[in-house]
Structure 1
Amino acid sequence: MKEPYKLAILIIIMSFSHLTTQAQFITFNHDGIDRQYLYYEPVTLNANMPLVFAMHGYTGDANSMRNNTQMNQIADQYGFAICYPRGTLDSQGNRFWNVGYAFHQTETVEDVDFLIELAQYLQVTHNLNSDYTFATGFSNGGEMCYLLACQAYNTFKAVAPVAGMIMQDILNQCDQSQPIPLFEIHGSQDSVTPLSGDPTNNDGWGSYPSIATTINYFAVKNGCTSNTTQTLPDIDTTDGSFVMSEKYLGGTNNNEVWYYEVVGGGHEWPGDSGNMDIDAGEEAWLFFQHHINNTLSLPNFENLEEAIHIFPNPTKNIITIQNPGEIRLKEINIYNTLGVNLNLKESHGQMDLTNLNQGIYLLSIKTLKGTIIKKVVKN
């Protein structure tokens, strides 16, 4: 009787071991497609209820991203919820994020919209803070972070790509987007996405600028006014690499842009392989936490009504919404006196009321410090 008993115990142990490495995917229908993701929430959430997305690389998967980065353990330590979304399969059967690779020109999946809708769904169903949703990712997942920075900045408030790059086509369309904090970790010997970039598409991914050009672009975009550099401690002297830190500070709304160059590092996620001086997942979270702290430290205007100005008012057509640089506007809507949203869009601090009838309207302005209502007269 002892041998069957031992066999049963062994089967149970093996089954449990399998469960610890293979998590259950959750289905989320988007645009008629059943998409999938993994979600993890620690027992104790940070008081600010943050949410972090962690995206796998090309040919990777959400489960391997979870296992390799060990970000569930980091979430336990710091108290944030984490989502590992799953890319779709391309024509070659590889999972990917649609950032516009040269060989993906026929792919039509809308990954930006999928991630926005999934983030909003998780925020509501798990009571998470919509002001503190962030994204990190490796390689193709890191490139998706850049796309989110340019096209989903109202949902994702900071990004931390690892071994990623920004496609030139995406960069060309990024100028009008709202700046958000960005943190890139990149190996100096990365042979997949080299520091020098690939402006002429020699490698077949598509054209993309150098990492130095990319970091400078986002530092300027965020209005950073100073920078610091330092060499981080070489904790593991056997890994053949060390980390140089560049931080661009003093940007709009206290935004910052960070860059860690892993000198001697390759196309890797530090802490999992290659460099062992840092853990990329933990560094990404510390960057997000720093952004939360910077946001909370913004001046707390006691009277938003007086701080934000609307002019001309009354108006015949265009109104301008003027706010101090320290107050970040999140959402602006205009309603009639019956409470119907008229769905007019604000652009660069202005709203066109030309097509509205004469009368009184209510302008709702949502900021990180609260929401105010302004009366607007159209004549």
Structure 2
Amino acid sequence: MNIYQNYRILKKVVIVLLGVTLLTACDSIQAEEKNITKAKILSGDNYGELYDQGKLRTYYLYTPKSYNPDRPMPLVLVFHGDDGNGRSISNVTRFNELADKKGFIVVYPDGIDQKWSLRGNAQGRVDDVSFVNALINHLQQQINIDSHKIYATGFSRGAILTQALACKLPDKISGFASVAGSLPVRLKSNCQPRTSISMLTINGTNDRDVLYEGDDRTQRGALLSISDMVDFWRSHDQCTSSNKSPDFAEDKVKTAIYTGCSGNSEVWQLAVINGGHFWPGGSSTDKNLNKFNANLGLNASETIWNFFQSHSS
């Protein structure tokens, strides 16, 4: 065997060894990346981001102390109102405390410029329904979520987004709760979800921001009246019966529960008598609102979770 043949054999050996080394290194790096991803999701406060529609989006995620990566947990998405953010609505709703008690994950997405957009346009506005879909997919890769128990709720404009999600993402979200919001007039005709929708609505009869009697339907961004909105979901679900809940005094909260609906869905309507634009039972720096809440005795967050627990896909 000449020197040239020895060189060729030695070269092949080096290449094979180098390839094994690189593969081992790559496997090590991938394993490290997986470990890093898991390490990001700890119990308590987590902050995350993702790119969607060319925009960097952010969210605040709370994982309860009981979270076990080997066991899927329900997920509740909570959407803030205009001029709010994920952290601010978490403080108002206190869903974190409830998550620890009941055992679910809660995520509070941030709207761009503290607002939500239901459809994109040429001016660069994003479609936040599409963003929510991307966020759910993103979170399912980060944390062990029960895909049959994903829920959405929101306040004010976040409640309007929740109504839009019921129209457009019923295959991913099992239950919806709208607080101080309604269904946009322009969305009603295009809202034809293929499945039944479990919807809980909470509205103050004296809300000056989201009018209980609804808007002039010709105005931009007009919302349905609360009765029309509830009738829409009742009709969609083909509900056949209703009853008044005895849980709350008639002079404080009027509650109607519509059952006998398709797909075991339900529609709940809670009307807070003389209530304004607020989250019942939520925290506030307004002393008058705190006094009203204390006399009301309604905790919206607990009511919403109890509703969600009864529904899964």
TM-score bracket, normalised by the shorter chain, equals: 0.7 to 0.9
Distance 1:258 1:117, change over 3 A: same
**Alignment pair present for 1:256 and 2:266:** yes
Aligned to 1:206: 221
The answer (yes or no) to whether the contact 2:185–2:217 under 8 Å persists in 1 is no
1:120 Cα offset (Å): 1.9
Alignment partner of 1:83 out of 98, 107, 110 = 107
Identity of aligned residues (%): 32
Aligned to 1:265: 275
Q: How does 1:88-167 map to 2 (within 5 A)?
A: 88-89=112-113, 95-99=114-118, 108-167=125-184
Tell me the amino acid that sits aligned with residue 97 of structure 1.
Answer: W
Aligned to 1:182: 199
Which 5+ residue runs of structure 1 have no aligned equivalent?
Answer: 1-22, 90-94, 236-240, 296-379
Distance 1:265 1:232, change over 3 A: farther
Distance 1:283 1:222, change over 3 A: same
Mapped partners of 1:244, 1:78: distance in 2: 26
Q: How many residues align?
A: 258
The answer (yes or no) to whether the contact 1:224–1:251 under 8 Å persists in 2 is yes
Mapped partners of 2:271, 2:303: distance in 1: 13
The answer (yes or no) to whether the contact 2:205–2:212 under 8 Å persists in 1 is yes
Aligned to 1:13: none
TM-score between both structures, scaled by the size of structure 2: 0.76
1:48 Cα offset (Å): 6.2
Mapped partners of 2:52, 2:128: distance in 1: 10
In proportion to residue count, which structure has more strand?
A: 1
**Alignment pair present for 1:243 and 2:253:** yes
Secondary structure of the corresponding residue to residue 208 of structure 1: coil
Aligned to 1:275: 293
Aligned to 2:231: 216
Mapped partners of 1:195, 1:105: distance in 2: 33
Task: Please report the RMSD computed on the Cα atoms of aligned residues, expressed in angstroms.
Answer: 2.5
Tell me the amino acid that sits aligned with residue 220 of structure 1.
Answer: S
Tell me the amino acid that sits aligned with residue 110 of structure 1.
Answer: D
Distance 1:128 1:176, change over 3 A: closer
Mapped partners of 1:196, 1:51: distance in 2: 33
Tell me the amino acid that sits aligned with residue 218 of structure 1.
Answer: W
Mapped partners of 2:306, 2:267: distance in 1: 13
Secondary structure of the corresponding residue to residue 160 of structure 2: helix
The answer (yes or no) to whether the contact 1:265–1:275 under 8 Å persists in 2 is no
The answer (yes or no) to whether the contact 1:234–1:243 under 8 Å persists in 2 is yes
Distance 1:100 1:28, change over 3 A: closer
Alignment partner of 2:242 out of 227, 232, 235 = 227
1:113 Cα offset (Å): 1.1
Larger Rg, first or second structure (1 or 2): 2
Distance 1:288 1:48, change over 3 A: farther
Mapped partners of 1:269, 1:106: distance in 2: 33
Mapped partners of 2:119, 2:234: distance in 1: 24
TM-score between both structures, scaled by the size of structure 1: 0.64
The answer (yes or no) to whether the contact 1:98–1:107 under 8 Å persists in 2 is no
The higher relative CO (CA closer than 8 Å, separation ≥ 6) is in 2
1:206 Cα offset (Å): 1.7
Per-residue CA deviation, residues 37-85 of structure 1 (Å, 9 max, x unaligned), is: 0111112259762100000001111111011111100111111100000
Aligned to 2:49: 27
Mapped partners of 2:228, 2:172: distance in 1: 25
Mapped partners of 2:195, 2:82: distance in 1: 27
1:161 Cα offset (Å): 0.8
Which 5+ residue runs of structure 2 have no aligned equivalent?
Answer: 1-44, 283-288
Mapped partners of 2:293, 2:310: distance in 1: 23
Aligned to 1:376: none
Distance 1:105 1:146, change over 3 A: farther
**Alignment pair present for 1:74 and 2:94:** no
Distance 1:258 1:107, change over 3 A: farther
Mapped partners of 1:224, 1:114: distance in 2: 31
Mapped partners of 2:100, 2:171: distance in 1: 27
Distance 1:106 1:242, change over 3 A: farther
Mapped partners of 1:100, 1:165: distance in 2: 17
Distance 1:105 1:143, change over 3 A: farther
In proportion to residue count, which structure has more helix?
A: 2
Per-residue CA deviation, residues 172-196 of structure 1 (Å, 9 max, x unaligned), is: 1013543210000000100101111
